[in-house]
Amino acid sequence: MSANRKAYILGLTGGIASGKSEAAKHLASLGAACIDADAISRAMTAPGGPLLPQLRKAFGDEIFDEEGNLNRRALADIVFSDPVQRRILDSVTHPAIQKAMMDDVERYEEEGRQLVVLNVPLLFETGMDALCDETWLISLDRDKQLERLMERDGLTREQASARIDSQMSLEEKEALATVIIDNRRSLEKLKSELTSLYASLEKKLHKLENE
């Protein structure tokens, strides 16, 4: 465990529609302290959210509805069709989201939590894996990922492909991850593997604590 940090940081990631949200829910049910980057992002871009003025400055009024609320689909259409626009979005959102996540880590550390899970879709892309003691990747092949994403978000194949292609490839992520969890199986099998991995990690942390 890192000498300058009380909590062991587990990074959880996976491509879009890979099943990482279900994985995070299950880890939370096992008692893990989970911090969700997507949930923080949604809160910061909800009505009255702190990132809205910066988004309006970067992308204009066209990404807002008549009430001044963010039109997420309109923003997605812009950033997933243009890598430059995507980088602009990342430069606006990522620093604020990362700061909020690390503030939450500190809060959990003050509570004495031994293990904190960072659920971050772009864990490797943003370099947040450098903050983690180990990383778990929920792995799903592209065809299945496309199928799930199209069904979940009501996207065309072209739209879904653009969203997947905006992220680091699965092969690159697998080369970086500490643990690879194949999610081509049933939800129950995913939960069973996560339960086993989590129990092993708790044993390791208990051993580290008593060394």
pLDDT 10s digits, 86-104: 999 999 999 999 999 999 9
- Kindly state the average pLDDT of the residues 42-70: 96
Contact at 8 Å (CB) between 6 and 115? no
Report helix, strand or coil for 186.
Answer: coil
CATH assignment of 8-44+73-209, given 3.40.50.300, 3.40.50.150, 3.90.1150.50, 3.10.20.30? 3.40.50.300
pLDDT band at 210 (very low <50, low <70, confident <90, very high): confident
Token reading at 127: 């370099």
Question: Picking from 47-56, 87-96, 159-168, 175-184, which range would have the lowest pLDDT averaged per residue?
Answer: 159-168
Distance in angstroms (rounded) separating the CA atoms of residues 44 and 39: 9
- Predicted TM-score (pTM) above 0.85: yes
Residue with tokens 């989590």: 198
Domain boundaries in the chain?
8-44+73-209
* CA-based end-to-end distance of the chain: 11
Distance in angstroms (rounded) separating the CA atoms of residues 37 and 71: 19
- 11-23: pLDDT as tens digits: 999 999 999 999 9
